[in-house]
Structure 1
């Protein structure tokens, strides 16, 4: 049975005290809040400085880069209080620039794929970069993952965090309107990692922001994630064609490898020769969340890792989530710990509106108009079982 972070801290310290032993330093300090600190992480080719911000609260330790808003490290204790980084990433700036994997990055203006890199809004057709075959992926060749964000730290009450801002000019990557984006990363006293997205525009445009963190709850560099247990409240998903663009159908997961409603290992059916898995070389699909769009975040998934005991639940206001099982990791990238990343060494749960929504009239709209504010929230909660 999963228990909260505070529960495991108390249990660890209390059990050691009963045995006449002092609690380990990490257990004693887990719940402390620290102010965000900044240090240089490197420079881009044009000389632009990239900073690494670190913060801690409620037992969660977070490292964030100003480049791409990248979650560089996410450190959590296991059932015995031992910390490990559970997010995949690169050791230096050049690694992130060249990887092409979107490790830990903020994604915009449009997360996921747009067919042909083209959409029509209010009678005008816009052409985007085609950086995924014939399609546009994750905002194009220079999406939000490749921008240096302005970062402002904050400490409010029991929370600590970072405010990230980026202004995308009218016409950037082919998108209309000047988009002013703010993303708040918050660590709460309970150790939750909350992401709040906001954006406004000067012209009608489309927006679909998300985070592309790769998780491995056993620890980055420890091997594949196929043994992780996942329970996902989604009775439908959006099948795709061979270029991974949705067909427009909302298909039932029942009887397919995509049925995680009762909970199962992520890798249980990963090798089943289902046409959709052949297209994605595994799972790389948008799931239609049973809860739909909500004003406040609602929980839709629980993931647990049996060896470490670490658990993660995610709540969101979004109607969908792209589940990606690291299918295109191919052994050419070395991670933060010095290990080579291979297929299946991490998984992503990218909360979002649906892929290619501008070209799919039956999908939830991603249109943002002047005077309106785009708002979504996703909350990651951690514990042990």
Structure 2
């Protein structure tokens, strides 16, 4: 485990890079800017090691980062229609992103702020963030604690807690772009969701407010299949929210991703009710990757455990409200296994 200065923000704030490792040989690189997972490498049975996330080579790229690559997003992930929420009869107008929507916490959000190192060890780091009352329009001060941990032999674990001093809403999400065979298209990967239902998005990419079965739709991944399914066209775009099958509280299986050559798999388990699947269609070669390559559409995909999207405006969805005296918690793991 090591910590070194990665770069400095224009105001002189130092951004640290924390490098983690476990006994099996998995390694990770985490930045305090945006709580970004910059790199993750897992061991393979033949003794080789494989990168499984996309990452940028510079802080400038993470400050730009229109696709939220690798970061933690919040205070509320995904879209909130019109940026409007109502709590106890009072309406709050949240800040809008450049596209005129409130996306992933707004134009500042947690993904474009420096976090503080609270604790660390050889295989974990705990980061903290204080979001003041009124930041991006959200009511209440929010105190956040996030831990990334490398569990044996090859699991990346995410644990998040938050408390508030006034009623607010909270739904954070880890936003890495995963690839199990670097250089291959995500559309050639195989994907399965433990989800019989999803929340359809409208043309404006805001939820329609309904929970519907995936059966008979392009979003039916109940059985593992190639993402680029010819039944729906090679250009069919995936950006949707699945409702995870659940019979009890706690951490449950949400998704399984397999490399095109079936050499590596990643299982996602989570305490969250939903998982967003974005196929990386909007990735562009604006900034170099950590290995010097350039990103391209479908170079990686996002699997984002979170609360229901736009739940403040959708009466059919469970609320993401957090009150004083309560603690928001999320537990998610990305478990890698070789065939």
Instruction: Give the 3-state SS of the residue equivalent to 2:188 in structure 1.
Output: coil
What is the aligned residue count? 338
Aligned to 1:74: 40
Alignment of 1:21-170 (within 5 A): 36-57=1-22, 58-131=24-97, 133-155=99-121, 160-170=123-133
Aligned to 1:194: 157
CA positional deviation for 1:302: 1.4
CA positional deviation for 1:273: 8.9
How far apart in 1 are the matches of 2:233 and 2:200?
A: 16
Bigger radius of gyration, 1 or 2?
A: 1
Q: Give the helix-richer structure, 1 or 2.
A: 1
Aligned to 1:256: 217
Aligned to 2:244: 289
Could you say if the C-alpha distance between residues 308 and 251 of structure 1 is closer, same or farther in structure 2, counting changes exceeding 3 Å? closer
Q: Is the 8 A contact 1:78 1:308 kept in 2?
A: no
Alignment of 1:233-382 (within 5 A): 233-269=194-230, 272=233, 282-291=237-246, 295-307=249-261, 309-382=263-336
Q: Is the 8 A contact 2:130 2:143 kept in 1?
A: yes
Runs of 4+ in structure 1 over 4 Å off: none
TM-score under structure 1 length normalisation: 0.84
Instruction: Give the 3-state SS of the residue equivalent to 2:222 in structure 1.
Output: coil
CA positional deviation for 1:139: 0.5
Q: Is the 8 A contact 1:218 1:308 kept in 2?
A: no
Aligned to 1:226: 187
Instruction: Give the 3-state SS of the residue equivalent to 2:20 in structure 1.
Output: strand
Q: Is the 8 A contact 2:218 2:232 kept in 1?
A: no
TM-score under structure 2 length normalisation: 0.95
Cα deviation per residue 1:93-113 (whole Å; 9 max; x = unaligned)?
A: 001111211111011100100
Instruction: Give the 3-state SS of the residue equivalent to 1:340 in structure 2.
Output: coil
Instruction: Give the 3-state SS of the residue equivalent to 1:38 in structure 2.
Output: strand
CA positional deviation for 1:44: 1.1
CA positional deviation for 1:270: 8.4
Instruction: Give the 3-state SS of the residue equivalent to 1:140 in structure 2.
Output: coil
CA positional deviation for 1:355: 0.9
CA positional deviation for 1:269: 4.8
Cα deviation per residue 1:149-208 (whole Å; 9 max; x = unaligned)?
A: 1113434xxx83111100100111100000000011111233321111100000000000
Q: Is the 8 A contact 2:42 2:50 kept in 1?
A: yes
Q: Is the 8 A contact 1:115 1:134 kept in 2?
A: no
Aligned to 2:148: 185
How far apart in 2 are the matches of 1:80 and 1:226?
A: 26
How far apart in 2 are the matches of 1:122 and 1:174?
A: 16
Instruction: Give the 3-state SS of the residue equivalent to 1:97 in structure 2.
Output: helix
How far apart in 2 are the matches of 1:104 and 1:261?
A: 26
> Structure 1, unaligned stretches of length 5 or more?
1-35
Aligned CA RMSD, in angstroms, stands at: 1.8
